[in-house]
Each structure stands twice: as structure tokens, then as C-alpha cells.
Amino acid sequence: MVDLITRRPLPDALAQAARIATQMIEAQLSDLSGPVPDAMIYAARGGKALRAFLAIETARLHGVPPQVAAHAAAAIECIHAYSLIHDDLPCMDDDDLRRGQPTVHKRWDEATAVLAGDALQALAFELLGRLDCADAAKLDLTLSLAQAAGVRGMVGGQAADIAAETADVPLTLDQIIALQAGKTGALMSWAALVGPRMALADQAALRLYGDCLGLAFQIADDVLDVTGDAALVGKALGKDAAAGKATFVSLLGLDGAKRRAVDLVTQACDALSDYGDDAETLKDAARFVTARTH
């Protein structure tokens, strides 16, 4: 029953990844009731599941079937979901809408949002502990996720983003790149390395792919913040410009930002050349990131 078909339409692969990650998270919580487990499941649903897809697809590329990578896919979606819950809090970005639905603190309350986020982070590490792979791979995945999620990764990027809002001088391009490498890039890169890490294989190609993809994704997000339709994107838009924050668009211009994103996607795809046709769905994913901005 090993499912190792490598080329498939991207929407199917994304939908499969979302299903696998969500079912895994729901299975962990199925015997619990109450606002906190309910909010955990609510927050884990309805996303693009791009990170779960990267985990599952890079695993497949290294001969690890989706069912075996499922715990890692669910783990990264837990971290992503927790970060969205906490970022949406009134004391942070103060957002009412996420993925087209009320944010957790609007649907429940702030205490539930804090706790559901906290528990999702713990669940991510619990899920990795249940992975069926070599001990060395499991330890590598766990330590690297802790680093990617922490003060030198995602939280550090988020803190730098908040600091930038009140800074006297707007950030430079290099500073924004460094900030985004933490805020968005660290989780994306971790997801792209699930395959080689589980298979104890070389990480270089997918590291480059993940780093380029993460940055392209954030540039595309900045572009969408200016050009997008809130109803389609599923969250409030135009907030960065309103806040006078430096973004890739303010620094590179709209066309310049789009060009940079396309260049990064080309780099990401080129990085996968040694994998041949097996990597086509991953390349499609990279192209999809910028396609959203056109």
C-alpha cells in the first residue's frame, strides 16, 4: 500500500496533505472535549497545508510514504497553526479574520487562544516523538524544529517584526530578508527538509529549495497585501501599508518585488534538478507561490 507516485496535480497533493495533517491532529485529540481541544482542531483546519505538503512530498522524494511522514506533516501544521493563533491576538496583530473564519480569540476568547496555541506547540513535539523512523532522524527533526520555532527562528522573526513597527528608521532590505527568514522561512525550510532528514540523506538541494521558497512566499504575501482581494485571501489586507511598514513592495516596488519572487522560484526549481521528474510537484508548488500574485 506504499504510495510513492511522485507526479500528481498540485491541488490534489495539497488537498491530500491537508487531509493527512488534519486527520492526524484530530486523531490525537478525538477523546477530548472543551474549548481548548476544539480550538486546536479549528485552528489546524482550513489552511493551504503548504508546510504539510512540503513534508510529505520531500519524504516521498526520499522513498518515505505519506503515511509514515504524516506525524511530521501534522507537527509542522501544529506549529504554524499555533503561531497564527498567537499572532492574531489583540496584543499582537489584532486580527478578527483568518482563513475566512473568525480568529480563535473571536470565536472563543483570549485565554482559550493562548492555551490552544501553547498546547499545539507541545503537540508538535509529541507528534515527532511518535514518528516511525530511525532514532537519529527523530532527534534531528525534533532539535531542528525547536530551533526553527524558537527565538532564533519563528518567534525571533515575529519579535523583530513587532520591533520594526515602532522603529524610527524603516528596515533595510537585508534586515527584512533576515526577519522573514525567521518569521516565515524557518518553518518552511524545516518542512522541506523532512524528507532528507527522515531518510538520513543529503539536505543541500532541499535546503536551498526551502530557503528560496520561503522568501518567495513572503514576497508574494507582501504583494498580495497590496494587490489582493480580502475575500479571496481570507484575511485583512493593506495593513502593512497603512502602518507605514517597510515591506518588499515598499523597498523593491511592486514590479521589482514580483520579479524577485519569480527569480527565487526559478532558483528553487533549479535546486531540484538532480531529483529529475520526481520533483515536478515540488516545482509546481514553488511556481504556485508566485502565480498567486499575478
- Shortest CB 251 distance to its own copies, Å: 22
Residue from 16, 58, 103, 121 in contact with its own copies (CB under 8 A): 121
Q: Are 289 and 265 in contact (CB under 8 A)?
A: yes
- Give the shortest CB-163-to-its own copies separation in angstroms: 7
Applying CB under 8 A, does 200 fall inside the site for its own copies? no
Query: Phi and psi for 101 in degrees, rounded to 5?
Result: -125, 160
Binding residue for its own copies, selected from 143, 167, 230, 291, defined by CB under 8 A = 143
Long-range contacts of 7-16 (CB under 8 A, 24+ apart): 7/277, 7/278, 7/280, 7/281, 8/281, 10/281, 10/284, 10/285, 10/288, 13/53, 13/56, 13/57, 13/281, 13/285, 14/48, 14/49, 14/50, 14/53, 14/285, 16/56, 16/66
Q: Pick the closer one to its own copies by CB: 15 or 114.
A: 114
For the CB of residue 103, give the shortest distance to its own copies in the complex, in Å.
14
By CB under 8 A, residue 142 contacts its own copies: yes
- Tell whether residue 139 is a contact of its own copies (CB under 8 A): yes
If DSSP codes are grouped into helix, strand and coil, which group holds residue 102?
strand
Cβ atoms within 10 Å of 150's Cβ, excluding its own: 13
Q: How far is the CB of 213 from its own copies (least distance, A)?
A: 22
Summarize as ranges the residues that interact with its own copies (CB under 8 A): 29, 32, 34-37, 40, 82, 86, 89, 91-92, 109-112, 114-115, 117-119, 121-126, 128-130, 135-136, 138-139, 142-143, 145-147, 149-153, 155-156, 158-160, 162-163
